[in-house]
């Protein structure tokens, strides 16, 4: 069983945060939660984007960039190599048969 002195020393070790520091941390956490709540309550995407940009600018940090947009697809190495292979085979076939490829204007018209 611990004596009274041992209990007091344990209490002193666990309560090393000063009262003003604890109050400051509590106020900071409350302020952060209020800011998060304000951002969450914004329903307009353009206003939300402006709010985030302003917040990031005020904080002095750079805005996080999305890794890949949802609409944007990444092409893998194998897909690139197969497209190059197909193009080279098509060029070889054209040289062999003497057939001409499409002109730039024809390619633009297809788009």
Report, as ranges of residue numbers, the positions in the chain whose pLDDT lies below 70: 1-19, 21-22, 61-73
The CA distance from 85 to 79, in Å, is 10
pLDDT for position 9: 54
| Residues 36 and 48 sit within 8 Å (Cβ to Cβ) | no
| Residues 56 and 63 sit within 8 Å (Cβ to Cβ) | yes
pLDDT for position 56: 81
- At CA 95, angle to CA 75 and CA 87, rounded to 5? 5
| pTM over cut 0.85 | no
| Residues 69 and 59 sit within 8 Å (Cβ to Cβ) | no
Give me Rg for the CA atoms of the chain. 32
The CA distance from 23 to 29, in Å, is 10
pLDDT for position 85: 92
Structural domain boundaries in the chain? 1-63, 74-111
pLDDT for position 32: 84
The CA distance from 102 to 92, in Å, is 15
What 3-state DSSP class applies to 37?
helix
């Amino acid at each position: 069983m611990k004596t009274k002195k041992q209990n007091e020393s344990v209490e002193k070790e666990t309560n090393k945060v000063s009262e003003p520091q604890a109050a400051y941390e509590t106020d900071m956490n409350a302020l952060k939660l209020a800011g998060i709540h304000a951002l969450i309550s914004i329903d307009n995407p353009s206003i939300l984007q402006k709010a985030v940009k302003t917040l990031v600018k005020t904080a002095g940090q750079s805005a996080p960039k999305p890794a890949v947009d949802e609409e944007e697809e990444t092409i893998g190495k194998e897909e690139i190599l197969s497209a190059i292979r197909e193009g080279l085979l098509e060029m070889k076939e054209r040289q062999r048969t003497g057939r001409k490829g499409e002109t730039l204007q024809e390619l633009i018209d297809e788009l």
